[in-house]
Structure 1
């Protein structure tokens, strides 16, 4: 039996506090203003001017509203940057996040049902089954999952499939869809336990998918199959391209080889040696589609690749822990912004590896790097395009210190041409399989 806290212990702790001359002042300040306001270092805030030596012109920011589609928004933003540059389209043009969202929801439902069948021989109390049932599907995802959707279904301009109430606020859709999937899981597991015929199980699963498709059409609209693309370029010239499908639109207007873009992570934990690739068990959306795959590199190489891609005029999709040391209103991400350790006089330091190992930090948000400030050959701060609308930061753009980037950025998507031959070879290797709950998969479940 462990030692309990005695009343004498409590009195001792209070006596120790009473001996601190600053205690009453700090108590009044912190309790009145809150921890964040009381611990803000305004000198650090002043260093985050939105001025960058390398800066891309990427136009107005998008707004994911009350949904966890950051990874979709960030990926489609990198594509629209390219599209807008090539076709001289004004900066407020967007691709349809709702179109991609629809197919991701549908494919994730099938992915979940397939995993239900694969784990049906395990008890409900097994960790894998419990993890599977905890969140049958969700809004979040990974770069490779976005590529799997685009490879299969293409993309569309936002005008061809606009937002709905349920894409702007996905909470109700997620609740009812997860209820439906858990119900389906109970039916499939029961059929397997009763040795049902494989054909009967497949027919039941097909019936379930038919119902799920109907639910998604009601909530998000029927996914567009063909459309006309109309726009005016920056010179006010009118253009129209008729009878396009989403696949044709992607090939003609986005025209990016997604196979060239790979996920690079920085995870300095003992279980993930550098220069090796990793995948996450049971994480994905399109069955037989592109596999989630990460190449783990040290932070210096990780940084160099992101800088190189920006210097060559291309934005960078990246994943991080956006809630850490973050001033949402002013659009600042800086690990020196709040000095809670000094204010409370306690040691709050953890290494990046310890943050991951002990659950203090997880990758929960995807954004886009659109600029970097290089001083004496080294990055000092980064320009970040977020997807929370233009009411935060500088018209929706954030400034991120490089020290924050090193501590809380975990993933960047890089064109393979910027990797050395040795790194390209390492990236091509078969990935190590990680557990479903590994921190490098959390962007699919903890999205902001």
Structure 2
């Protein structure tokens, strides 16, 4: 049965609104200032002093500019923090442009792989439509960066600096996605026409050659060998010649990436805790490290993050940064806006409901660099962002503990900090989730 809106209903709505004593005042405030400014609660600001009982010294923040590389910046920043301590580096960054180049190249090949895998499905199937919606993008997850580093290594920013297209990625994304959709038409037709595997491989190779050319013109040629020069914090000069990206990673970062695992908190009914998950058609490097998440309770999630911070190591994390967040002041707090009081209607969902009904997912990755513990319980967290020093406190944000509860979805920690029970759970074969599952969202 359908229900059209009637004149009687409208008259009743107007009457009830006119009976609200502050209706005209609220209308003037919201029409002039907007919803967020009109519902802003300064009490949340007063509770967000950037002072923490555990506070790692991680130096100046980086700036991803007009690109969606937050996951990449956050991961490379955790490595940079460790390098700074080991080698006394100041004002140093690893090249995000280098990993960006290889990520886009590998994502093109990964897209071709999935196009061929789904070539017998109609173009209107959900899987094919999902693939064509965004053939590639800037975003990613921790395991995807590990797959890149394991194959290509890393380089200092001096070896492959930023370019127009790495710092402002809209044009390269539009160009690549148009090309990839065009290539998808060709590959699907080859399958339909029963082309030989040799012919398909040859066509795919020609496509990858064109993608490599586009990326090289846009980002520059990735270095094969380079020299690394720096002065440490004691002003001592160092020079290391003829390094490759792989030898640089081994010597200066030196991490065993297998030691780090992805932990998520997704309290939805379809994802029991202490179980691992992966997502269909999510990745970048064909044959590389797959995405794998261990779902845990929020209590375990926080305990693991705190343990790693206490050990002196920063923590990569993924969240929905646009929720209850003041970007300019650098405050993330569930109480910073009160739309419920402003509009006299509830705006409330549980974390699980927000995930199930599309109201929230991971949209951004940053780094935990501190926490304030009171009676050994967290009250707020220090966050290193990658939006430059002009927001927050010189680029650092304050996140309330309740905000972490509601809008944080992923952290990356060392396996050694997992309990025996969680270690056993993490070693399980993952359950395969649909491509559009919210835990497959790219930061």
What TM-score does the superposition give when structure 1 sets the normalisation length?
A: 0.98
State the Cα distance separating 1:81 from its structure 2 match: 0.3
State the Cα distance separating 1:38 from its structure 2 match: 1.1
Secondary structure of 1:29's counterpart equals helix
State the Cα distance separating 1:29 from its structure 2 match: 1.5
Deviation by residue 1:220-278 (Cα, 9 ceiling, x = unmatched): 10001111100010111111000000000000000011000000000000000000000
Is 1:405 aligned to 2:390, yes or no?
A: no
Q: Distance in 2 between matches of 1:82 and 1:226?
A: 23
Counterpart position of 1:136? 135
Secondary structure of 2:439's counterpart equals helix
Q: Distance in 1 between matches of 2:384 and 2:334?
A: 19
State the Cα distance separating 1:71 from its structure 2 match: 0.4
How many residues are treated as equivalent by the alignment? 443
Counterpart position of 2:57? 57
State the Cα distance separating 1:34 from its structure 2 match: 1.4
Counterpart position of 1:185? 184
Secondary structure of 1:319's counterpart equals strand
Is 1:79 aligned to 2:79, yes or no?
A: yes
Q: Distance in 2 between matches of 1:375 and 1:345?
A: 34
Q: Distance in 2 between matches of 1:33 and 1:41?
A: 14
Counterpart position of 2:11? 11
Q: Distance in 2 between matches of 1:42 and 1:35?
A: 15
- The ranges of structure 1 where at least 4 consecutive aligned residues each deviate by more than 3 angstroms after the TM superposition are none
Secondary structure of 1:272's counterpart equals coil
Q: Distance in 2 between matches of 1:213 and 1:159?
A: 22
Is 1:306 aligned to 2:315, yes or no?
A: no
Counterpart position of 1:119? 118
Counterpart position of 1:40? 40
Counterpart position of 2:233? 234
Deviation by residue 1:96-144 (Cα, 9 ceiling, x = unmatched): 0000000000000000001111100111011000100111000000100
Counterpart position of 2:89? 89
Q: Distance in 1 between matches of 2:7 and 2:390?
A: 50
Matches within 5 A, 1:359-374: 359-374=358-373
Q: Distance in 2 between matches of 1:262 and 1:395?
A: 30
Q: Distance in 2 between matches of 1:248 and 1:110?
A: 25
State the Cα distance separating 1:5 from its structure 2 match: 0.4
Counterpart position of 1:154? 153
Secondary structure of 1:405's counterpart equals helix
Secondary structure of 2:36's counterpart equals helix
Q: Distance in 2 between matches of 1:194 and 1:136?
A: 23
Secondary structure of 2:21's counterpart equals coil
Is 1:296 aligned to 2:295, yes or no?
A: yes
Secondary structure of 1:77's counterpart equals helix
Q: Distance in 2 between matches of 1:25 and 1:216?
A: 54
Q: Distance in 2 between matches of 1:377 and 1:18?
A: 50
State the Cα distance separating 1:8 from its structure 2 match: 1.3
Deviation by residue 1:54-76 (Cα, 9 ceiling, x = unmatched): 00000000000000000000000
Counterpart position of 1:418? 417
Is 1:323 aligned to 2:284, yes or no?
A: no
What TM-score does the superposition give when structure 2 sets the normalisation length?
A: 0.99
Q: Distance in 2 between matches of 1:288 and 1:274?
A: 28
State the Cα distance separating 1:415 from its structure 2 match: 0.3
Counterpart position of 2:356? 357
State the Cα distance separating 1:326 from its structure 2 match: 0.6
Is 1:145 aligned to 2:165, yes or no?
A: no
Is 1:267 aligned to 2:266, yes or no?
A: yes
Counterpart position of 2:383? 384
Deviation by residue 1:27-50 (Cα, 9 ceiling, x = unmatched): 112222211111111111111000
Long gaps (5+) in structure 2: none
Q: Distance in 2 between matches of 1:345 and 1:378?
A: 33
Q: Distance in 1 between matches of 2:222 and 2:87?
A: 25
State the Cα distance separating 1:23 from its structure 2 match: 1.1
Q: Distance in 2 between matches of 1:181 and 1:310?
A: 42
For the aligned residues, what is the CA RMSD? 0.6
Q: Distance in 1 between matches of 2:307 and 2:345?
A: 39
Counterpart position of 1:287? 286
Q: Distance in 2 between matches of 1:256 and 1:430?
A: 24
State the Cα distance separating 1:418 from its structure 2 match: 0.2
Long gaps (5+) in structure 1: none
Question: Which deviates more, 383-392 or 33-42?
Answer: 33-42
Q: Distance in 1 between matches of 2:115 and 2:184?
A: 6
Is 1:431 aligned to 2:430, yes or no?
A: yes
Matches within 5 A, 1:437-448: 437-443=436-442, 447=443
